[in-house]
Structure 1
Amino acid sequence: MTQQDHTQGSAAADAMVAEADTGARSATGVQGKAILALCIIWSVFQLYIASKLPGILAQLTGFSDFANIVAQARYVHLAFAIALATLAFPLFKSSPRDRIPAYDWVLLALGVGACLYLVIFRYQIADRPGLWNSSDIAVSATGMIVLMICVYRALGLPLVVIASTFVLFAFFGGYSEWVRELTNYGGSSLSKALGHYWMQTEGVFGVALGVSTTMIFLFVLFGALLDRAGGGNWFIKVAIAMLGALRGGPAKASVLSSMLTGMISGSSIANTVTTGTFTIPLMKRIGFSAEKAGAVEVASSTNGQLTPPVMGAAAFLMVEYVNIPYIDVVKHAFLPAVISYIALLYIVHLESLKIGLEGLQKRGRRIGVLMILILFLSGFIFLGVAAFLMIGVRALLEPVVGDTIYVALAIVAVLYVFLVAVAARYPDVEVDDPNAAVPEAPRLTPTLLGGAYFALPIFILVWNLMVRTESLDRLSPALSAFWATIFMIIVALTHRPLKAFFRKRDFAAEMTAGWNDFVQGLIMGARNMIGIGVATGAAGIIVGTISLTGAHQVIAQVIEVVSGGHLMVLLFLVAVLSLILGMGLPTTANYIVVSSLMAPVIVTVGAQSGLTVPLIAVHMFVFYFGILADDTPPVGLAAYAAAAISRGDPIKTGIQGFGYDIRTALLPFLFIFNTDLLLIDVGPLKAVFVFAVALIAMLLFAAATQGYFIAKSRLWETGVLLLIAFTLFRPGYFLDQISEKYAEASGPAAISLMSEQPDASDIRLIVAGPDFDTGDIRRTTIVIPAIAEDATAALEEQGLTVLPEDETLVLEEPFPGTAHFDTLGTEYDFYGDTPVVIEKIQVENDRLPKEIFFIPAFLLLAALVLIQRRRATQPAF
């Protein structure tokens, strides 16, 4: 690739990011300054409502609106998003890029006015809940239309089509007899539907937009400030320094740097361009084809959206939708993400072996694979030791000084100044030219220490989110992001002048450069949020339609009929539909759409087939496949961005990227059937064991997909690798073939069997009865914990009342608010001629441990290693 080709490719990729994420219009003069000013004001507003300033100002001035604006923040948030989407994204391809036409100013006024109407007239609206007047309906219709136009501008047609389909269903779905029978929905009037969508918090201004307002913006702003200050480039350079000299080093560095930037990035496309601009030309330089170079970057960047702590901001939505603490979301997502990334590194290594590639030249001593592993693990050890020391210092000082927050701030300040002083001794971590005549991997020590202070804001973020102490509760995600962003602002403003001070150079010039970084970070944070802001509003339409009509039941019914009740067919259909629904959507909207539509399908239809899994596993399943849409042709926006840089074919890049991501597509099926992978009810020692076995299994699966292990694999060897991987992932499958998993009983015998179970062990109840809507007999499975020697108490604890009649266990309707009311109370007709009964109960048999099958699997692996070693023509590493 020539310098000109690289420049053109980077420009095309940057244009794609602007088109998809930040806005393709570059207005000049006063109009351009107005866009920038609006971005800055939006960022400052979000910091203001996240802080304690509103309450302080209200108390000092006696003017309550300083504090009231926080309660109205989501309306103002969407107003900013609509305004910037209108100004920054041209409506048509032929629309001017250098100025804002008059019709856009009209649309801006209508959209912002529709949002602020809910703020200005909030008291009058509160006095007439559900009784919307003509002004309310006119404003709602206007707001909905402008919002859809903004979604089209910022994100294209996919989300507009999906949201419009659901709006049409709300208005006309009641005309279908089948829909009426299935959902009891008879259609909606214009007033009722528009009021539901716009005038209350069930639709556009629902949970998704609320999370965007309080959490997502702050995390996106944090990432923008970190990248603008130089943290993103530091991630890339550290990855190149650590892995660049290894076989296929630039590709491995691409994987690592994309993981690091992806953890805090909200966009697969932006992640692809940020790291790919540097790594893709290097990969091509050492021998990767254009398509494979782009595919490695695409697979790395899309997987970044699956990696805690941010997960493309979906982690915070999961907190609301699954109703579990944030720390649990991170815990459940951690193991699959790490396994997936290590497997991708291995795939890159196998590709390098097949092509016979080498790494970059590097001055000084090279780092071996073992040392890299030690360094990688030492990063986690360092964080653990730092957390332990902070907890210890707080425990020692709390009895003396009381609140130790100021002590913690002082420690962080001293540590920051010290790390900047150390960094000042080394050259700045500059952005290198990937097309340099003789590209070299930088040395690790000066690169790592030259920007180590960038890790401090991330440490503060993770500390507040996940560690803190027992006596001091963890901060909410919003407050954690706020304080991390405040510290990141301090870093952006001061790291340049501080280094100039220690180097005795021009202090004033570096002060100006730091201020520019801060301002540009505010602007980029807001521009990166435009698409997310309007997308969460539009996704709220889908959620609102489901709450208004029960539309998810229709989708569940269709999938149930098509799958024929077969569990694997059901999961495959949901996976495919999640891929389709996720095409062309940003991560946040992607998760809202696929989780709202597909997660209830797995829960409902799966329970009828006997599949009962934790809700977080279901949400992770659909989220994984929704994210994989970013590299799946024909849409695959991340693949198009990578191809723009590599100058390769975007369809081939997407196909190759999905080929690399097959290992990621396998994981959701695995953790649906083996929730140990999500660390659900798994202790520390077992977690280490699960990680080790699952990692080996995934590496073997990756080797099978690449047709190369120690040497090029024969067809039967590939089959053996797949068999070993399957055995390690699902040893219970083979145990089920030789020993019944469950003991079953019905009628009075079921009560006796329940009483024999130890405390807290799982009891599966298979419930059968007439469907509330259709009257057809349907079955579902629920799980309750046992209470030793008291089956009745175990049932009553879950709000279930059972009346034995002859040999039948008749189930009474559960009361609202009890554990299984949503599963049973709203789905079954308890007052028909046919009773709802507990058909049978199932409890796990006492069997051999399923891990016994690991022994033959590892023996088979050892035999395969011995066979392939004879044909090996080069070292494995």
Structure 2
Amino acid sequence: MSEQDKTTMSAEEVLQKFDKESDKRNLTGMWDKLISFICIAFAVFQLYTATFGVLDAHLQRAIHLAFGFSLIYLLYPGRKNWSRSVMHPLDVIFAVLSVASALYIVIFYDELVLRAGMNTEFDFSIAFIGTLLLFEAARRVVGWPMLTVALFFMFYAFAGPYMPGILAHRGVGVQEMFDHLFFTTEGIFGTPLGVSSTFIYLFILFGSYLEATGLGKLFIDLANAVAGWAAGGPAKVAVLSSGLMGTVSGSSVANVAGTGAFTIPMMKKLGYRPAFAGAVEAAASTGGQLMPPVMGAAAFLMAEFVGVPYIEVVKAAVIPALLYYIGVWIGVHYEAKKFGLKGTPRDQLPKFGKLFMEKGHLILPLAIIVYLLVSGYTPMRAALWAIGLTLICSCLRKSTRISFGDVVKGLIEGSKGVLGVLIACATAGVIIGVVTKTGVGLKLATALLDLAGGHLLPAMFFTMITSLILGMGVPTTANYVITSTIAAPALVQMNVPVLAAHMFAFYFGIVADVTPPVALAAYAGAGISGADPMKTGFAAAKLAIAAFIVPYIFVLAPELLMIDATPFTITFACATAIIGMWGVSVAMIGFCQSKLSFLQRLLFFVGGLNMIIPGAVTDAIGVAILAVAFFWQRMNKNKGPIENHGEDL
């Protein structure tokens, strides 16, 4: 990156550069009014069907996609050099054609049902045009990584007879493939788009109203009140506030831009190196995609794919997400101790009690939605109640009250906010369509197992590498669909619980956001901090070391996902995992009460790993090694912080 690129960027610039979903047109006049009208109509359709009952699956999803097509082509220019303030005629043509292709299913629904399997040449033309326009929409909104994977699967479907070995299949005809993708509910209009057209839209709308009430600012203020005064306070504020934002956020890059605009300058002012400041925010924001109840909207897809109630996914995600954040928190704490970084004076921080009294009511909708889900409400019904309660709760104080204009604006922002998820889900349907048509999912799982020699740990390692590669630059929802389709089946074949296998693949797909060379969250953090993006990426990966370890723990000890668990087994597994992560994090930072030698770091790392691996023998070995390492470093003469803050991790 050039010196000019290393200068700090605003949150808006970061979003436009690293988050394609945010690179929209800023239109005025007639076009702005038309887009606002479409957004409101979209929201009304979703709220109406959620309240009075969804339509037949294909109809609901086709109308959902038609709204998405129209907004994507009107909001997202086809080229970088096209104006963001003027509508391009080609985009209008694409919008009309794409909407027409989706509405063709709605208008001729009965006829299509009657001649199912015997589609006409005209039907094929519509399917072909609609699929191509879907690919173009995906390129504009979610970028080339997602589109490349989808195109690769399409190529595989047609090239089956020419593929080597286990990957060979009889091949799929062009018309057969496009008809399958467009006119069944096993392709573009499959389960991912079905979840987007019901649960996900409502939760994104819920998040837009929460943001309108000022909840994001409240999270940052609360984090400051709780942790701002501690050693490395601003960094801990970043961890805590990003975790809280992650409960409703659907994008790690958006989370970095939202909270990082406040926390990264605070960290740099305190004395953190720019690369580490950006890394803290990147690691914390990426973890937000693992935080229930939303999990970047992937929780709803996981419930459908695994075939369990949504609340079971939320329960399973709680402990691993907390372990991840504990790992990041430990790393931040010892980085601060390493260089003697103090917190913000208490008199410069907001008071927790005063904040809670003034704005604590804004948290009520989050608490209520969790209560409703636990009580057996469907996610759609719980989200509807939560949206209404958010509006009511905002009126409890004048400072947080939402006006009618804000309500309308929330509908518009909610419709715009769902576009990335919507088009990613529709494109992911192409991958699922090819998998169901060719059986490639089972073939890839078998290939992974053969590579691992039938052993669990190597299979987990190869699944991890596959998920990291497939997750690079891909949005959360699409990330989960891809990794669960390609990587997770290998672990399922080895008798790993289905939910644990899907969570394993999902975790490593998400960690790709802080894993170089394609670490979008880290690059976004580097943009705000003005640091080198690769240094930021490697620092973020070290801080996020828990995310590389926790999935192995819950596959080997499924009680962490509350699968066949008792309170004792959960408590014991959590305690040993936290101690183990403490050892690994200390080794990564290279500091405990004094600077560690290479051998001491190695002992902390090995001892920590032994504590993390479930089993009485490994726990005993881990405790012994960590005890030796801890007391050895306490004997060091040169205790205290390191003076040279320019030192890398």
- Whether these two folds match at TM > 0.5 is yes
Q: How far apart, CA to CA, are the structure 2 residues paired with 1:285 and 1:615?
A: 46
Residue of structure 2 aligned with 1:187, choices 147, 171, 190 = 171
> Quick check: 1:6–1:281 contact (8 Å CA) kept in 2?
no
Deviation at 1:651, TM superposition (A): 2.1
Which residue of 2 is the match for residue 764 of structure 1? none
User: What's the CA shift for 1:41?
Assistant: 2.1
Partner of 1:675: 558
Given that residues 581 and 590 in structure 1 are in contact (C-alpha distance below 8 angstroms), is that contact kept between their aligned partners in structure 2? yes
Once the 2 structures are TM-superposed, how far is the Cα of residue 869 of structure 1 from its aligned partner? 2.6
Q: Decide which of 571, 576, 594 is 2:460's aligned counterpart.
A: 571
Q: Give the equivalent residue in structure 1 for 2:646.
A: none
Q: Quote the offset at 1:863 in angstroms.
A: 4.2
Assess, with a 3 A threshold, how the Cα gap between structure 1 residues 146 and 657 changes in structure 2: closer, same or farther: same
Correspondence list, 1:258-277, <5 A: 258-277=242-261
Greater helix fraction, Structure 1 or Structure 2: 2
Q: Which residue of 2 aligns with 1:739?
A: none
1:442 positional shift = 1.6
Segments of 5+ residues of structure 1 without an aligned counterpart are 55-66, 364-439, 469-473, 501-509, 733-849
Deviation at 1:561, TM superposition (A): 4.8
SS in 2 for 1:676: helix
2:644 matches 1:873: no
Does structure 2 retain, via aligned residues, the 8 Å contact 1:22–1:527? no
Q: What residue is the counterpart of 1:359 in the other structure?
A: 343
Q: Which residue of 1 aligns with 2:83?
A: 96
Q: CA deviation at 1:116?
A: 0.8
Q: Aligned ranges for residues 500-519 of structure 1 at < 5 Å?
A: 514-519=403-408
Letter in 1 for 2:570: A
Work out which of the residue numbers 567, 579, 598 in structure 2 matches 1:684.
Answer: 567
| Deviation for aligned residue 1:13 | 1.8
Pairs within 5 Å for 1:322-361? 322-361=306-345
Quote how far apart the aligned CAs of 1:515 are: 2.6
Greater mean deviation of Cα atoms: 567-576 or 125-134: 567-576
Query: Aligned equivalents of 1:860 and 1:97: distance in 2?
Result: 59
Q: Measured at CA, do residues 636 and 875 of structure 1 come closer, stay the same or move farther in structure 2, by a change above 3 Å?
A: closer
State the shift of 1:70 in Å: 7.6
The whole-number CA distance in structure 2 between the counterparts of 1:640 and 1:79 is 33
Whole-Å separation in 1 of the counterparts to 2:623 and 2:121: 72
Does structure 2 retain, via aligned residues, the 8 Å contact 1:630–1:636? yes
Tell me the distance in 2 between the aligned counterparts of 1:207 and 1:873: 57
Selected match of 1:597 from 462, 466, 486: 486
> Is 1:10 the equivalent of 2:11?
yes
**SS of 2:26's equivalent?**
coil
Provide the rounded CA distance (Å) in 2 between the counterparts of 1:137 and 1:164.
Answer: 19
1:717-756 superposed matches below 5 A: 717-732=600-615
Aligned AA for 2:172?
Answer: S
Deviations 1:56-99 (A, max 9, x none): xxxxxxxxxxx747872111111111111111111011222112
Distance (whole Å) between structure 2 residues aligned to residue 77 and residue 160 of structure 1: 20
Counterpart Cα distance in 2 of 1:263 and 1:654: 23
* 5+ long unaligned stretches in structure 2: 1-5, 643-649
Offset, 1:483: 1.1
AA of the residue aligned to 2:206: F
Q: Which residue of 2 aligns with 1:749?
A: none
Q: How does 1:444-843 map to 2 (within 5 A)?
A: 444-466=352-374, 468=375, 474-492=376-394, 494-495=395-396, 498-499=397-398, 514-565=403-454, 567-604=456-493, 607=494, 612-732=495-615
Q: Is the Cα contact below 8 Å between 1:21 and 1:527 reproduced in 2?
A: no
Distance in 1, Cα, partners of 2:325 & 2:107: 49
Question: Do 2:66 and 2:103's aligned partners in 1 also have CA atoms closer than 8 Å?
Answer: yes
2:430 aligns to what SS in structure 1? helix
Structure 2 match to 1:153: 140
SS at match of 1:462: helix
Question: Is contact 1:339-1:695 (8 Å) kept?
Answer: yes
Aligned counterparts of 1:177 and 1:690: Cα–Cα separation in 2: 44
Q: Does 1:121 align with 2:105?
A: no
How is 1:65-464 mapped onto 2 (pairs within 5 angstroms)?
68=55, 72-176=59-163, 178=165, 185-363=169-347, 440-464=348-372
User: Could you tell me how far 1:529 is from its partner in structure 2?
Assistant: 0.9
> SS where residue 341 of structure 2 aligns?
coil
If you compute each CA radius of gyration, which structure gives the higher value, 1 or 2? 1
Q: Structure 1 length normalisation: TM-score?
A: 0.70
Say if 1:268 and 1:638, in contact at 8 Å, map to a contact too: yes
Q: Distance in 1 between matches of 2:528 and 2:93?
A: 37
* 8 Å contact kept, 1:23–1:85: no
Q: What does the per-residue CA deviation read over 1:114-169, in whole Å, with 9 as the maximum and x for residues that have no partner?
A: 11111111100010111111121011001101000000010111111111111121
2: CA distance between counterparts of 1:455 and 1:591? 28
Q: Secondary structure at the match of 1:659?
A: helix
Give the partner amino acid of 1:40.
I
Do the aligned partners of 1:23 and 1:527 also contact (CA within 8 Å) in 2?
Answer: no
Alpha-carbon offset, residue 353 of structure 1: 0.7
In 1, Cα distance between equivalents of 2:567 and 2:603:
31
Contact 2:49/2:55, CA 8 A, preserved across alignment: no
Residue identity over aligned pairs, in percent, reads 38
Q: How many residues align?
A: 636
1:384-426 residue CA offsets vs partner (Å, 9 max, x unmatched): xxxxxxxxxxxxxxxxxxxxxxxxxxxxxxxxxxxxxxxxxxx
Q: Is the 8 A contact 2:364 2:393 kept in 1?
A: no
Please give the alpha-carbon distance, in whole angstroms, between the structure 1 residues aligned to 2:17 and 2:366: 28
Letter paired with 1:696: I
In 2: Cα distance, 1:164 partner to 1:40 partner: 33
Q: CA deviation at 1:715?
A: 2.3
Distance 1:854 1:577, change over 3 A: closer
> Does the CA contact (< 8 Å) of 1:309 and 1:330 recur in 2?
yes
- Separation in 2, partners of 1:7, 1:711: 33
Q: TM-score, normalised by structure 2?
A: 0.93
CA displacement 1:483-532 (0-9 Å, x = unmatched): 1112123344x34xx427xxxxxxxxx97x62333233222222221111
> Residues of 2 paired with 1:209 and 1:320: CA distance?
11
